[in-house]
Structure 1
Amino acid sequence: MTDAPHILIVDDDAKIRQMLTRYLTDEGFQVSSAENGAAMGECLARTHIDLVLLDLVLPGEDGLQLARAIRTRPGSGPIGIIMLTGRSDMVDMVVGLEVGADDYIAKPFHLREVLARIKSVLRRLRPTAPAELLSRPQADNDDVIRFEGWQLDLGRRELKAPDGSEIGLTTGEFDLLVTLATHPGRVLNRDQLMDLTRGRQWEAVDRSIDAQVARLRRKIEPDPKHPTLVKSVRGVGYVFTARIR
């Protein structure tokens, strides 16, 4: 299937690469693999990749550095990033989110869990992917939320600034903005945001929402330190205060 999403596995453990490659290929995906950052860069340069399964602990550049590099690649389209790690430290999870990861899976993992996380990220990232792989209907391309000159296109999953430029958002940032913009004026606590954006597909960690909000503010607020669109409500959560048109 030529239109099947292309997954890149980046892990220095050959057995894990082989296991994931075999499993995801059997599930209908195109799959490539790399053992380190250099090999990852070569793969990204020569072929289109939809999602990267990225090990946190790698020789040379670690997964956090590589995730940051993926997010800052010039001229690249949206790429999903799911971090894989044997570490259980919550700090690693939060830092991974801050540099642009869409999800986080701790080793050892179940293959079905990896598959479910991949499909979840791709549904948001690539709504036109083959239905038999992602099993989700496409969104309405005419559904656009407008606020303060911004245009949030739910069907195309695009955000355009008042000057017409397109603003690159990770899937997590996009889903968070959609959730806030569809509940204008309503204070949402962190648990509600976790439920509405990801259905609690990962552990409900308060700081993960805070990290996503901080990164979203840097992209849409004139002054992220003094936000006017997404405001904090001390001790409760966040509220979207922009006027919806």
Structure 2
Amino acid sequence: MGASRPRVLIVEDEAAQREVLAYNLESEGFVVSRAATGDEALLLVAENPPDLILLDWMLPGVSGIEICRRLKMRTDTRAIPVIMLSANGEDVDKVRGLETGADDYMAKPYSVIELMARVRAQLRRTRPAAVGGRLEFDDILLDAETHRVTRADAPLKLGPTEFRLLSTFMERPGRVWSREQLLDRVWGRDVFVDSRTVDVHIGRLRKALCQNGGEDPVRTVRGAGYALG
């Protein structure tokens, strides 16, 4: 098993379109959540931040462009890629959407194949390991497609959980992850795991990373969690 599956939030008030998008995303291996309104979307983002948002421009109540503006103003959500979907293909609307902070823009009707490609393109930037990318940190190289890890060109043996932990760390070197955040990203919210389990697997990861020598690159931040570097 590779890196944890990327989570995509679909914000679309038309049920048929919402389900078509969800079907195609789930077929590609994404974990999908759905919202029919802007308010519902903001609640879902607060409860469980997704890795990417597909956001319809025209929504009942709070508009998609206002939702995008709010998300991009907040430090905890501004890094989440947002792809705006709009029935209006005018350049002025595309420019407005991008200036509001959207990372990409697609006019309806759109090609599902092209949309999936754009989703993967955004995730290669923010979650490269989840879409088969290669990650490097100092002398550590992780290839998510072949599920291989080397350090100083020497292969390392990692269990599937340790591989997902390392993928998470290497996507955001220096970021401090709490135990709860690691549980959510590596194990998933639907699996009950005691937070102490994180410490056990961090210990195994450290041992694996140092199996051929070298310093331990995983840093313990007292009272906060763990970080790489």
SS of the residue 1:87 aligns to: coil
Q: Whole-Å Cα distance in 1 between the matches of residues 73 and 138 of structure 2?
A: 29
Query: C-alpha deviations, 1:89-144, integer Å up to 9, x for none?
Result: 11111111111111111111121111100000000112232xxxx23322x3349x
Contact 2:51/2:81 (CA < 8 Å) preserved in 1?
yes
CA deviation profile, 1:39-73 (whole Å, cap 9, x unmatched): 10111111121100001111122111110111123
* Match of residue 133 from structure 2: 136
Is residue 72–residue 78 contact of structure 2 (8 Å, CA) maintained in 1? Answer: no
Within 1, Cα distance between the matches of 2:46 and 2:118? 25
Distance 1:87 1:25 in 2: 27
Aligned to 2:51: 50
Alignment of 1:111 onto 2:108: no
Measure how far apart 1:23 and its partner are.
1.1
Runs of at least 4 residues off by over 6 Å: none
Q: Is the 8 A contact 1:82 1:104 kept in 2?
A: yes
How far apart, CA to CA, are the structure 2 residues paired with 1:82 and 1:75?
Answer: 18
Q: Deviation of residue 26 (structure 1)?
A: 1.2
RMSD: 2.4
In structure 2, what is the equivalent of residue 67 of structure 1?
68
Gaps of 5+ in 1: 144-154, 159-245
Separation in structure 2 between the aligned mates of residue 37 and residue 43 of structure 1, nearest angstrom: 10
Structure 1 SS opposite 2:93 = helix
**Cα deviations by residue, 1:3-54 (Å, 9 ceiling, x for unpaired):** 1010000011100111111111111000001011111011111112110000
TM-score (norm 2): 0.57
Aligned to 1:34: 35
Q: Tell whether the 8 Å contact from 1:141 to 1:156 is kept in structure 2 after alignment.
A: no
| Compared CA separation, residues 30 and 87, structure 1 to 2 (3 A) | same
* Distance (Å, rounded) in 2 between the aligned partners of 1:77 and 1:103: 14
Conserved? CA contact 1:50–1:78, under 8 Å: no
CA distance in 2, matches of 1:142, 1:101: 32
Q: State the match for 2:128 in structure 1.
A: 127
Identity, % of aligned positions: 42
Q: Is the 8 A contact 2:42 2:67 kept in 1?
A: no
Q: Name the counterpart of 2:90.
A: 89
- Which amino acid letter does the alignment assign opposite residue 35 of structure 2? A
The structure with the larger Rg is 2
**Separation in structure 2 between the aligned mates of residue 63 and residue 75 of structure 1, nearest angstrom:** 19
SS of equivalent residue, structure 1 residue 92:
helix
Distance 2:75 2:171 in 1: 21
* TM-score between both structures, scaled by the size of structure 1: 0.54
Please, which runs of 5 or more residues in structure 2 have no aligned partner? Answer: 140-169, 174-229
